Amino acid sequence: MSEFFKNVDKIKYEGKGSDNPLAFKYYNPDEVIGGKTMKEHLRFAVAYWHTFQGTGKDPFGDGTALRPWDNITDPMDLAKAKVEANFELCEKLGVPFFCFHDRDIAPEASTLRETNKRLDEIVALIKEYMKTSSVKLLWGTTNAFGNPRFVHGASTSPNADVFAFAASQVKKAMEITLELGGQNYVFWGGREGYETLLNTDMKLELDNMGRFLGMAVDYAKEIGFKGQFLIEPKPKEPTKHQYDFDTATVVGFLKTYGLEKSFKMNIEANHATLAAHTFQHELMTARINGLFGSIDANQGDLLLGWDTDQFPTNIYDTTMAMYEVIKAGGFTTGGLNFDSKVRRGSFEPTDLFYAHIAGMDTFAKGLKVAYKMASEAKFDKIIEERYASYKSGIGSDIVNRKVGFKELEKYALENDQIKNVSGRQEVLEGMLNNYILND
Ligand code: XUL
Ligand code: CO
């Protein structure tokens, strides 16, 4: 077994005072918060595609990343080396899970049959590593967007042969996710959207996407895959308009196609901001609809209009995200998958560790602050008071649908001198600052 990251030992918790970039300052995996360890609360995962496939290539230039496997030329040898590197990196970081697309772990061959054989070979190797490692698969997914055959979409392609190809790919990816004990299966609609409505039958495309997901549900039952199906909303990129625009859109879609009992949501921070929402907004929308499942942890750059997938280092975002996770009762099968890539300028192998450590520390701090906020329930009390008018009198009659417009008009005619109270937003923002700064 080769060691790829020779200058990195197992990352330890050294606490707030440490200035060692290869140590945790806040993430203390065994520290218990509210009856669960930090490790159990946060359920971190490494994203195979960014960490082992990412090169730093952008539309203006080639890849910059220097990787210890760069000298390997045979594509299958390279795929095998990355399996080894994945287990080494996860174990050194103490990250309990990883996530992959089918095409991340094994390169595509010239025929589907051969591609599937390659996948089987790599899956067998991953299984071998799993025998001695505690690292598990959080979720698997399909890359049905990269190959040119998906130019017009996968399940929403106008070409039925593409629909069939994508179905065969999801079938296989579900099988390998099951074989590797994956706890979820993710659907991100890579090119499920459109560029122009002038050539698009939107109704047929949406119906086909509904049919496709229905077939996936049927097949999961057939093979006994009990993992959670997750949909990951994103408003744009690669297509101008993605059908899974945001959580609210997906809620409506699932209900239209009778799929709401079979799916939950995988919320990504950078996708939320691209949809002009906050990360917390998307998480809350999923939670109040009973559809919260998992998180793709990253952050965007608010000055840029695309999916920069940066490692999450914004303490406000991680605090409010963990507040929502706690409110949702914590993760069950889900977790915090670092769908994040090191910047193009951070091209050294050790940067992969620095980046994950920064993200893990930021979420650990967010968890601690959020747990305190949730247990002291100060914000809950303020919100409860704000809506107190619905607890009795006319408000309670509205909630219980005891009144209609006629009764409400009669009430309003007698109570038309309305008194409102301040929303006190700045007080609340100051309270949040206090929690973050004093914890
Ligand atoms: C793309 C994205 C994907 C999904 C998995 O923006 O987030 O990597 O997470 O397909
Ligand atoms: Co993602």
Task: Identify the residue whose C-alpha is closest to ligand 1 atom 5.
Answer: 188
Mutate to test the pocket of ligand 1, among 188, 191, 231, 242 (most ligand atoms within 8 A of CB): 188
101 is catalytic: yes
Given the structure tokens 């122009």, which residue do they identify? Answer: 196
Q: What does the pLDDT look like over 105-151, one tens digit per residue? A: 999 999 999 999 999 999 999 999 999 999 999 999 999 999 999 99
Phi, psi of 406 (to 5 degrees): -65, -45
Instruction: Check pocket membership of 296 for ligand 1, CB cut-off 6 A.
Output: yes
Instruction: Check pocket membership of 307 for ligand 1, CB cut-off 6 A.
Output: yes
Count Cβ atoms below 10 Å from residue 222 Cβ, excluding itself: 10
**Which residues lie closer than 8 Å to 357 by C-beta, 6 or more apart?**
11, 21, 22, 23, 24, 27, 93
pTM of the entire predicted model: 0.98
Please identify which of the residues 50, 101, 277, 356 carries the catalytic annotation. Answer: 101
Contacts 24+ apart (CB under 8 A), 374-377: 374/323, 374/326, 374/327, 375/34
104 is catalytic: yes
- Rounded to whole angstroms, the Cα distance separating 294 from 358 reads 20
Instruction: Check pocket membership of 188 for ligand 1, CB cut-off 6 A.
Output: yes
Angle between helices 425-438 and 315-327 in degrees, nearest 10: 100
Widest distance between CA atoms in the chain: 82
SS3 24: strand
- Decide the pairing of beta strands 32-33 and 23-24: unpaired
- Say what the pLDDT of residue 322 is: 99
Of the pLDDT bands very low, low, confident and very high (cuts 50, 70, 90), residue 360 is: very high
Query: Which token pair is 19?
Result: 């200035």
Of the pLDDT bands very low, low, confident and very high (cuts 50, 70, 90), residue 204 is: very high
- Say what the pLDDT of residue 180 is: 98
pLDDT above 80 (res 1): no
